[in-house]
Structures are given as structure tokens and as C-alpha cells.
Amino acid sequence: MGNKRSQVVWTYTYIIAVIVLAGVVTGAAPKKPVPVPFGKNYVPTWAFDHIKYLNGGSHIQLSLDKYTGTGFQSKGSYLFGHFSMRIKMVPGDSAGTVTAFYLASQNSEHDEIDFEFLGNRTGQPYILQTNVFTGGKGDREQRIYLWFDPTKAFHSYSVLWNLNQVVTISIWDSGSPSNQPMKIYSSLWNADDWATRGGLEKTNWSKAPFVADYKDFHIDGCQSSVNARYCATQGKNWWDQKKYRDLDDYQWRRLRWVRRKFTIYNYCTDRKRFPVMPRECKIDRDA
């Protein structure tokens, strides 16, 4: 993550969610992820026969056909930490498909930090949609075009979550997930009722199976029981330290560049849905 060819988009909500995309250094890059096989940290959750294991489980493929998609989750629940994996998205005509990478709690008052990569017709750019749920309430969607092709090579997608904030293309300082452990999930599924051009573009099943590739299933987090309310090692971990509590000036500039050039939708500026600007948007330098 820290070399001159890595580019990072910081996305938060009292987590610092980091999407390593294409090519520039950042000020306070997270520690380099430790690549480990899928089975060390993760287990399948559904349609086990739609997950293919390669190279001893260090590389897996999720597949989607007209009958089912598939997904997996972390073995443990975590209250803060750094979570990373490398993904190569569904290539070609991927309209209607969604590749999701997210954190979610298991309790009744649902917390979630959500990244969904929306497929498109061949030659059209992928769209990244983010959302955040706190206490069961979401409706914090943002969408951007990806300015690189996520199907040509593996790219690292990471979440750095600490007690101070989360980044999701807008900034949150309160009302964001902070006292419920979450599991890490990923899935590949059909959402052609909404995913591409609001559902106008349907999944072309003649192109199935649709395949997404994964490597390097890194977890460095505070593992906690589902009902825990604090991390026993709070303040002692590298991702708790001061330099990871906010974006530096360089990272703010990179975030503004992404917003200005690639934003499709930002709930912070949607006055039909939010006549009064949501509180977290008021501290956002670009809202």
C-alpha cells in the first residue's frame, strides 16, 4: 500500500475504509497486509459448490449463474481493526451483477459498512456504491465511477476501522458504528432489478457463469464476542494511533479529486431526500 504506484481512496464513518485503487502514495498508509489462505480467516456462507479453491486456497473464485450466487464471511467478529483482500471483478458484460465487500453486525440494531461494485455492459465503467447503517438505519448512499478497470488485475480493498471515524466518501464523526462487533463478508449475486441503470440493463445469462477472483485474506483486528461493547486492547494497536484518526492534507486532496471527477450521486447534496443536511455531512469539506 505504501509504494509510489499504489493509490488510495479513503472512505469513512468513524472507520477508516481504504480502497487501494491505482497509483499515488498517501501520508499514513496502513501496515502492509499479510497474505494468508482463505480458510485461515473465512468460511463459505451459501452455495458452497459455487466457490472454487486454487493454489491451496490462497486464491478462490466466486461464481454466479442463473440459479444462485455465493458468498463467505469471517470466522470471527471484530470491534475495530484492519481488514483487506485483493479482488479481480467480474470481466466483460457484467451488467446486473454485484460484488459486495462489507462489514455487518449480527444484533437486532443493525450496523453495516457496505461497498458494492456494480457491473456494467462491456466497455462501460464499473460503479462503486457505498452505504452505512447505524442502529438499523441506512440511506447514506454514494456512487462513483471507477476510473480504472477492476477486471484486468487484482486490486486491494481494505477497511481500517478505529474508534474515531469512518470514511465513505463523506466524513462521519458521530452516529456511526462503534459499539457492535462486526463480521467481514463478501458475495457475488444478481441484482438486475436495480444495479445497472436502475434495473434497465438486465443480466445477460448467456454470459454465465460470472466469476470474481479473490486473494490475500488479511485480518488484523480486535476479535470480540458478538455482544461485546469495547475492545480489550483499545489504544494499543497500530490502527488506534493518532496518525490514523483523520485524513492528512494530501489524502483530502485525493478525496476531493475523486468526488469532483467521478461522483454520480452523493446523499449529502440530495435536498429532495434530505431537506436538512445530515449532521455528518456538515463536517465534510466537499459537501
Question: Model's pTM, two decimal places?
Answer: 0.86
**Residue 213: closest CA among 66, 98, 59:** 59
Owner of C-alpha cell 470474481: 212
Enumerate the active-site residues.
Answer: 112, 116
At residue 98, the pLDDT reads 98
Give, in order, the Cα–Cα distances in Å from 42 to each of 36, 273, 275.
Answer: 10, 38, 42
Strand order in the sheet with 59-64: 51-54, 59-64, 210-224, 77-88, 155-161, 15-20, 8-12, 166-167, 171-172
> What's the rounded Cα separation, in Å, for the pair 12 and 145?
18
pLDDT by residue for the chain (287 residues), tens only, comes to 333 333 333 333 333 344 444 333 334 666 778 889 999 999 999 999 999 999 999 999 999 999 999 999 999 999 988 888 999 999 999 999 999 999 999 877 788 888 999 999 988 999 999 888 877 777 888 899 998 899 999 998 888 888 776 544 444 443 445 568 999 999 999 999 999 999 999 999 999 999 999 999 999 999 987 777 778 888 888 888 888 777 778 877 887 888 889 999 999 899 999 999 887 777 655 55
Give, in order, the Cα–Cα distances in Å from 247 to each of 103, 178, 264.
Answer: 21, 19, 23
- Grid coordinates representing 72 are 463467505
Q: 170 φ, ψ to 5°?
A: -130, 170
Determine whether domain 8-283 maps to CATH 3.30.930.10.
no
Enumerate the domain spans of the chain.
Answer: 8-283
At residue 178, the pLDDT reads 57
> What's the rounded Cα separation, in Å, for the pair 50 and 55?
17
SS (H, E, C) 165-202: CEECCCEECCCCCCCCCEEEEEEEEECCCCCCHHHCCC
